[in-house]
Amino acid sequence: MMGSPILLKLFEHDEALARGVFRLIKQQENRLTVNRPHSEVMAINHAAGRHPVAVSPPVYQLIKRAHRVSLLPGSAFNFAIGPLVKRWKIGFQGNSVPPKDEIRALLALTRPDGMTLDDDSHSVFLHQAGMEIDLGAIAKGWIADEVRDYLRQQQVDYGLINLGGNIQTLGHQTERCWGIGLKQPFAEDGALIGVIKVMSRSVVTSGVYERYFELDGRRYHHILDPRSGYPLDNELLSVTVISRESIDGDIWTTLLYGMGVENSLTYLADAPQIEAIFVTRDRRVICSSQRQFSFSLLDDSYRLHN
């Protein structure tokens, strides 16, 4: 689902419960997807430049959140990025590097300030034809939290959901914490750099090695820089965010990616609820702080900085 493998771990054999989880994921994906012709989000995109479209309250709230984050000054998170994502097609058939002038033209359409959100009617209006919103950088986090809430309602107190690298966990007993592997970038055998231990926390990783294509010896990955129109390019190979809510983790991996290590560490010093692990091209593993998790290094070809 959602272009990714989905893993659910429960400690009781309960098929009805598992089916309920997958039904919920499917339902939310159907509302949010931009990879099929029909969804609430696609209805907004189809009406760009023409008229506002009312959506369901939860989808509206999600869009409001994405909108707010996209408007932050210098934000690398921009959910109006749809036209560029569609043109690059990274991770899909037919990807190619767009010519510079085309990128420039598409950048003009990726403006979070070029839309109107109306709280009364729960409607969204994209002012210009060709504009498209894309919730790909926030949807999995939101759905992971929904799954956690659903499991709690069903009296499950121990479980894990992994939506393609977006992990949310339930469980409070210290002696039974979750160990989440931090992948070695580009390792084909699933080798790990280390293990992140958490209890009832979300662990979200975004990496340049998740979805990409190669052309003329260059690698193009799927997190685009809304400021340049090209894939984000800095010293980082992956960013992992540990937080209570997975939606925060999903948003923050993109924001921190765009900030780079130094600026991120400065920023996170004042944001105790959000903690991060950065993996750099020169094999450094940098933890911002370790209040909500503990990290152990397994591969000593990496250097750990706390």
Which residues would be at the binding site for Mg ion (CB under 5 A)? 137, 140, 250, 253-254
Per DSSP, the three-state class of 168 is strand
Give residues in contact with ligand ADP (CB under 6 A): 76-79, 81, 85, 134, 136-137, 140, 165, 206, 210, 222-224, 226, 250, 253-254
> Cβ 233 to Mg ion, closest distance in Å?
17
> Cβ 145 to Mg ion, closest distance in Å?
13
Number of H helices, E strands in the chain: 7, 16
Q: Which residues 6+ apart lie within 8 Å of 186 measured at CB?
A: 209
> Cβ 275 to ligand ADP, closest distance in Å?
17
| CB burial of residue 164 (10 Å; 0-12, 13-18, 19+) | middle
Max CA-CA distance within the chain?
A: 57
Residues 44-75 as b/e (b if ≥16 CB within 10 A, e otherwise) read bbebbeeebbebeeebbebbebbbebbeeeeb
Neighbours of 189 (CB within 10 A): 6
In the complex with ligand ADP, the residue whose CB is nearer, 126 or 224, is 224
In the complex with Mg ion, the residue whose CB is nearer, 55 or 76, is 76
- How far apart CA 33 and CA 41 sit, in angstroms, is 7
> Cβ 302 to ligand ADP, closest distance in Å?
21
In the complex with ligand ADP, the residue whose CB is nearer, 85 or 177, is 85
Q: Which of ligand ADP, Mg ion, none interacts with 299 (beta carbon under 5 to 8 A by kind)?
A: none
In the complex with ligand ADP, the residue whose CB is nearer, 146 or 156, is 146
User: How many residues in the chain?
Assistant: 306
Q: Which of ligand ADP, Mg ion, none interacts with 224 (beta carbon under 5 to 8 A by kind)?
A: ligand ADP
In the complex with ligand ADP, the residue whose CB is nearer, 20 or 225, is 225
> Cβ 79 to ligand ADP, closest distance in Å?
5
**Cβ-contact 96, 213 below 8 angstroms:** no
Q: Which of ligand ADP, Mg ion, none interacts with 208 (beta carbon under 5 to 8 A by kind)?
A: none
In the complex with ligand ADP, the residue whose CB is nearer, 21 or 66, is 66
> Cβ 101 to Mg ion, closest distance in Å?
29
